[in-house]
Amino acid sequence: MNSLDQTLANARIVLVRTSHPGNIGASARAMKTMGLKRLVLVAPEKFPDPVADARAVGALDLLEQAQVCETLEQALAGTVHAVALSARRRELSHPVRSARESAVELAKLAREGEVALVFGTEISGLSNAEAELCHELVTIPADPEFSSLNLGAAVQVMAYELRVAAMAHLPGQGPREEQGELAKFEDIELMFRHLEETMLASGFLDPAQPKRLMPRLRRLFSRVTMEKEEVNIIRGLLKSLTPTRK
C-alpha cells in the first residue's frame, strides 16, 4: 500500500443506528470511491439486507467486511481521534469545525493512528451522549433552509474531503509537533471513568446535581489530541489524589 492508501485505510466510517439499509449501501459505495475501506455499523436496523447490497453496487466487499457492534464505544475502540457529524446546533460545548478543516486534521492524524467519522441516524442524528464520545463536531456547510443531506451524500462529501486532504499531505510533510504515541479511545475513556469515580468519591460530583460537569471535562480534553503518556499522567495524578479505602 502506498502512503495515501495507508492513511485512508486508517479512517473508519461509523454509522449509528441507521434506519434504511439503502443508506448503508450508498455509504459503502461512497467510501470505496474515495479509497476508504472500513465500515462500522452500530446497531443498524436492518443489516445485512438486499437493499444495502443493491445500492452498494461495486462495494459489496465493504459490506461483507463491515463490523457490526452494539455501542458507539465498541465502534471507537482503537481510534486516536473521532469526529461526529452534526447538522444541528447542540448545547454541547464541543468545538464545531467545518468539514474541510476537520478533514485536514483527520488526514494528518490518520498517518499515525486510526480515526473515525461518526454519522448518526437519518432523522435524529446522534444523541448528545454519543456526540460527547467524540473529540469534535463537524458540520458540512449547507443552505440553512434545507440542510438535510442524505446520509450517503454526507458520507460521500466527508470521504471526498478526507481523500483530498490526504493527497495534499502526501509529500512527506512532517508529523505533528508533539511526538509521543497518541492515546487510544479506550485509554481516554478509562481516564474519564477514573476521573468520574474520583470526583464522585470526593463529593465534587454530586450525582443528584451533576451540573454537566463530566461533559465539560470531556470538552476540555477533547480539544487536545492526547498522547498515551499524558493519559497516564492524569490517571497517575487521579490515583494519587484518591484516598485509599480502609
Report the 10 Å Cβ neighbour count for 170. Answer: 13
The single residue among 21, 44, 120, 152 that binds a second copy, judged by CB under 8 A, is 152
The single residue among 77, 96, 164, 214 that binds a second copy, judged by CB under 8 A, is 164
> Which grid cell is 78?
482503537
CA distances from 28 to 64, 78, 129, 200 (A): 10, 21, 26, 43
- Interaction between residue 169 and a second copy (CB under 8 A): no
Which residue, 145 or 177, is less far from a second copy as judged by CB? Answer: 145
State the burial class of residue 46 (Cβ atoms within 10 Å of its Cβ: 0-12, 13-18, 19+).
middle
- Interaction between residue 150 and a second copy (CB under 8 A): yes
The single residue among 43, 77, 153, 234 that binds a second copy, judged by CB under 8 A, is 153
Which residue, 30 or 191, is less far from a second copy as judged by CB? Answer: 30
| Binding footprint of a second copy, residue count (CB under 8 A) | 28
- Residues of span 43-62 touching a second copy by CB under 8 A: 57-59
- Interaction between residue 202 and a second copy (CB under 8 A): no
Per-residue exposure over 104-133, b if at least 16 CB sit within 10 Å of its own CB, e if not: bbbbbbbbbbbbbbbbbbbeebbeeebbbb
Report the 10 Å Cβ neighbour count for 156. Answer: 19
Strand 38-42 vs strand 136-139: parallel, antiparallel, or unpaired?
A: unpaired
Nearest approach, Cβ of residue 228 and a second copy (Å)? 32
The single residue among 140, 183, 191, 231 that binds a second copy, judged by CB under 8 A, is 140
The single residue among 24, 26, 52, 183 that binds a second copy, judged by CB under 8 A, is 26
- Interaction between residue 65 and a second copy (CB under 8 A): no
Question: CA angle, corner 182, sides to 226 and 111, nearest 5?
Answer: 125
The single residue among 149, 190, 214, 234 that binds a second copy, judged by CB under 8 A, is 149
State the burial class of residue 169 (Cβ atoms within 10 Å of its Cβ: 0-12, 13-18, 19+).
middle
Interface residue list for a second copy (CB under 8 A): 26, 29-30, 32-35, 57-59, 100, 140-143, 146-150, 152-153, 156-157, 160, 163-164, 167
